[in-house]
Structure 1
């Protein structure tokens, strides 16, 4: 077995090759077990208010009963959620799932065009939206199938007097809630009161029922809904639980949830996996307010934190972060984008804990590869395929490549999505006849079974016929003391076809382009060196903090055409 799965010999002690992915019929079964076992334990905390597993059980049941009895939604109907990390979010997620319905996670920063596409494409029957974004729903509502809008304010579940005060400040002082008119909309708190009058019927949820329509690929064109079934997510919870293994203390963990719950990484790793362990999720509503975020962290003896490279980098560069209490911290998981060595090394120095890189996709629920939890230091790898998961490297003709060769990373396992919602052609492009999901990431595997991402297929820069991988250039430049953030892209070039351009956010205002180029001459071979260096005050990022190279490429193309 280990001949075609060399990673098994590198597994940490106690981690099984396979897990029982059918131990639970649904996410709801895992949830109900956790609520019974950890009833009086805190489940979610936000802005000073905490709800227990018992509270979560009761409120999510009330919301589920409202959806079934008051809205008359039928099994399989879709409900969109458009909120940042606030207490209403997990209540809504588990309420929708307990009603046998499908959650459509929606980015609150969507424009009207993007929101309309997602609501129409998913056929959502209802939407729960934060007041701050309700004006966007108002613009598109008439063109969608949405029958009921449910609105809520940031402070609605924070109790008296804090809740009303928070809502007042956001609306009238910070002017963060644009006016909207949504006649017939219900308040979230009202839906819980209405639902409490009914009993939640027993809903038979099949493992193959769609739990989440998780939209992805918006950066490459039209966003597609990945159909993630209850079995997909249960499998990933079982796989991640086995991987975390003995390192996790059930009922004692406190995890920082700064990535939004509408993102698959936080949804599975934080909300679902730590729910299974009876952990407490500290929901961070606005992680972009770094000083406020650090102040919150200073008041928590947290045991775990997940994030993307930009989040960790931001924390490390915010005064006061090094004064946090890291005495209980034992798990730092990075994913969503490549973790840079310089960030990982500094994280270890400040917190004493290794930043462990993981790899996954929306289409894999998301975890596919994770580094061992007992890793001593950052190793530049995305880790090993987790239990019950296979990975391989294929060339453009679909042939498997040997150890060390670069090709497309392909994943097979019970966490791989059922396909794209209403897009059979796209599904067939992504998942081949043997069940391998083609990730679009260029990677290689070493002899111990560790995988290394070389880059996104489409981000690759072709300089005079040589493949140049942006990650490598960014890693090198990120190590310059005067650099805060960097992104590398390919731009059209008459001589070489493409040339390398880097866009940098300075840490040291005195940093010059000549210094950057001189540093690259020392550290990179000729064709990899940047021909152009641009300085900006910030890099374009997705709502989760992923650097959008595409936007930088597009603006560079426009500039060169104009020139």
Structure 2
């Protein structure tokens, strides 16, 4: 019988895969038995610190073995995982910690030149129990806390169009079910070595990464900071077989010999040209694209025998028990057992997102072909994707409104060779401002991936008769 809680999955993996390599992070090499031992040790730390089933445990750290062990340890102790985006400013982190009522925090004090614990201490909001990553020497262990499949396993915060983040809650059975479906589509198993570039704080990195390995016995190899040269090095050194990432990674890998161990490439976040998909299939074997969002994780996915044209032009067909349909407005609707439980402490937003018939309104626009394959054509709410992260212009526009001299602004996403899309801010000012003024102001208030890379100064923003800014016109002018 398949495990229905994260703790049960940890125990099952240790029993099933034993001394098989579970996690490889530099000199740290853990078997599945070792992984369970470390998870039980971290769970003991949380329990000793007062964490009880249902308490929230926040994690702000890069992709390292510490994140994996801490996250699974929190679940083993009965806690609810609350991942924090490592690109968040201190104020953004503090907001999530406060609204999730996190009782504990696992934090990296030195990552990308920042001490996040020191930053949080300055703005307040540090939980009573704080555990920093580093040399862990814990020895005590505890048994798994009593947790049921329908108990909440994690709360992943995702920005809303108003700029206020919302915490999407998932149950243990849901987190494991989407991971199992993803693994099934990719035929992932114990012989695979899975390089995870996607941040663990993202639903893909955690559920389609860590949990996939836990369920299948694949070896997890984390990469803390995305760097193409380092990715290539890890693929060669660790004989990586599974690698999700943006198209730019594969363009680089295809340009040079080597990396012959790869057998499964999973891509998205930016269009995949047919010619690139063809080259990837010829070189690596299986190439998949998928569609998902925090509220549903992975809803559609290509299959291993799909053509390059299908991989290029669609996001696959329904998986993980989802139904997909297109509303009269063109909006993509999803329904199934793995739609989030709801938004944390926000019944109104939950009701707006999930209608009375159980359909999740995604805010994305698309089409379904006669095979049930989904193509994303637009976004209803102007959201764009920068380096794999969703950016909601309203949040950036709110930040711009706080810059002295800015009277109004409009932010859109524009194509970028490296990141897929980046922000372009159209700004109307009451006094002279430079591009540097605008960018530096944003950098102090929002995460780096939200900071506009381009700024255009206008005398006025185009509006329709009702006064709404015509972003479509701005996009056309850019094109």
TM-score norm. by structure 1 comes to 0.67
Shift of 1:345: 3.0
Contact 1:127 1:149 in 2 (8 A): yes
Contact 1:344 1:354 in 2 (8 A): no
| Residue of structure 2 aligned with 1:356, choices 260, 274, 288 | 288
Shift of 1:390: 0.6
Report what 1:268 is aligned to: 207
| Residue of structure 2 aligned with 1:143, choices 108, 121, 124 | 124
d(CA) in 2 for partners of 1:100, 1:273: 20
Contact 1:125 1:145 in 2 (8 A): no
SS in 2 for 1:79: strand
d(CA) in 2 for partners of 1:83, 1:257: 15
Q: Name the CA shift for 1:254/1:501 in 2 (closer, same or farther; >3 Å).
A: closer
Q: Name the CA shift for 1:501/1:278 in 2 (closer, same or farther; >3 Å).
A: closer
d(CA) in 2 for partners of 1:243, 1:341: 22
d(CA) in 1 for partners of 2:453, 2:110: 29
Deviation readout 1:137-185 (Å, 9 max, x if unpaired): 33334732610211123xx3xxxxxxxxxxxxxxxxxxxxxxxxxxxxx
| Residue of structure 1 aligned with 2:176, choices 214, 228, 234 | 234
Shift of 1:267: 0.9
Report what 2:427 is aligned to: none
d(CA) in 2 for partners of 1:281, 1:378: 30
d(CA) in 2 for partners of 1:93, 1:202: 14
Contact 2:241 2:263 in 1 (8 A): yes
d(CA) in 2 for partners of 1:77, 1:386: 31
Moved over 6 A (4+): none
Report what 2:39 is aligned to: 60
Equivalent residues in 2 for 1:115-514 (5 A)? 115-132=93-110, 135-141=115-121, 143-144=124-125, 146-153=127-134, 156=135, 189-190=136-137, 192-193=138-139, 196=140, 199-217=141-159, 221-244=163-186, 247-248=187-188, 250-287=189-226, 289-307=227-245, 309=246, 312-317=247-252, 322-326=256-260, 328-335=261-268, 337-341=269-273, 344-345=276-277, 347-348=279-280, 351-364=283-296, 366-379=297-310, 380-396=313-329, 407-459=330-382
Contact 2:320 2:338 in 1 (8 A): no
Q: Name the CA shift for 1:284/1:347 in 2 (closer, same or farther; >3 Å).
A: farther
Q: Name the CA shift for 1:444/1:139 in 2 (closer, same or farther; >3 Å).
A: same
Shift of 1:376: 3.1
Q: Name the CA shift for 1:202/1:107 in 2 (closer, same or farther; >3 Å).
A: closer
d(CA) in 1 for partners of 2:77, 2:22: 21
The structure with the larger Rg is 1
d(CA) in 1 for partners of 2:251, 2:86: 27
SS in 2 for 1:65: helix
Shift of 1:447: 1.2
Shift of 1:220: 5.4
Deviation readout 1:98-148 (Å, 9 max, x if unpaired): 000011101122111111111111111111111215733333347326102
SS in 2 for 1:131: coil
d(CA) in 1 for partners of 2:356, 2:129: 40
Contact 2:94 2:125 in 1 (8 A): yes
CA RMSD of aligned residues (A): 3.4
Shift of 1:48: 3.8
d(CA) in 2 for partners of 1:325, 1:65: 40
SS in 1 for 2:325: strand
SS in 2 for 1:115: helix
Contact 1:253 1:303 in 2 (8 A): yes
SS in 2 for 1:58: helix
SS in 1 for 2:217: coil
Equivalent residues in 2 for 1:518-529 (5 A)? none
Deviation readout 1:64-120 (Å, 9 max, x if unpaired): 01111x202111111111111111111111100000001110112211111111111
Shift of 1:51: 1.1
d(CA) in 2 for partners of 1:416, 1:302: 31
d(CA) in 1 for partners of 2:170, 2:366: 25
Shift of 1:444: 0.8
Q: Name the CA shift for 1:202/1:108 in 2 (closer, same or farther; >3 Å).
A: closer
Bigger CA drift: 428-437 or 226-235? 226-235
TM-score norm. by structure 2 comes to 0.78
d(CA) in 2 for partners of 1:78, 1:201: 19
Question: May I ask how many residue pairs the two structures share in their alignment?
Answer: 412
List gaps (5 residues or longer) in structure 1: 1-21, 157-188, 397-406, 461-469, 472-486, 490-497, 507-539
SS in 2 for 1:414: coil
SS in 2 for 1:298: helix
Report what 1:84 is aligned to: 62
Deviation readout 1:301-325 (Å, 9 max, x if unpaired): 2211112x3xx3145237x963233
Q: Name the CA shift for 1:112/1:97 in 2 (closer, same or farther; >3 Å).
A: same
Shift of 1:263: 0.9
